[in-house]
Amino acid sequence: MVVLHYTAMDSARRACDWLCNGASQVSSHYLVGRNGRITQMVREADRAWHAGAGRWGAVSDVNSRSIGIEISNDGASPFPAAQMDALEHLLAGIMHRWSIPPERVIGHSCLAPGRKIDPGPRFDWQRLARRGLAIWPSPREEGPDGTDEAAFRDLAARAGFTADVDHATLLAAVRLRFRPWGQGALSGGDMATLSDIAARFPVDAGRGEA
């Protein structure tokens, strides 16, 4: 899979220095600057330490099964066009080389709900989805099964959100990825969104690694 992050730093140079510093105990395969410059720091076939603790579907060791892309962003700013253009080009190549489907391009917040929020609510997932580089829901207007929390958790697991977190944290993670404008209690819109994703892009949520 591919995991997208933001650096939460004020420049790509500072982020690169930190990611290449052994004392940081973190690393990533790529860094994409705001101007579109791409820096490769780890070979795609090698493991990078970018994901940390978390889970996606049946995968609990995400670092061993993913390529990490750090996007230079302070966490509050928009992502410039040049940066998104470069990211799209990079993603297309990675997905082709490793036969990665768009549903396995995820955010750090997806695998580590409550612990991470990157690439954040300002990241344009819809743009990637229009180019076949990620997924985006096309739900019905009404939500199935009302707003039952157990049904919501089941749909979330089928969509890949299998980290062991409480309901509020899970809801926040799902919204951050698919409904960043969502607020308040679990709604029919949340249910409809997850129902659509789980039906069209089911993820293996078994106990074994996938």
- What residues act catalytically? 70
**Pairing of β 105-107 and β 30-32:** unpaired
> Looking at this protein, which amino acid is placed at residue 12?
A
How far apart, in whole angstroms, are the C-alpha atoms of residue 122 and residue 78?
6
Residues in the chain: 210
CA neighbor of 119 nearest in space, from 177, 202, 167: 177
Question: DSSP 3-state assignment of 81?
Answer: helix
> Looking at this protein, which amino acid is placed at residue 68?
G
Helix (H) or strand (E) holding 107: strand 105-107
62 — alpha (psi -120 to 50), left (phi > 0) or beta?
alpha
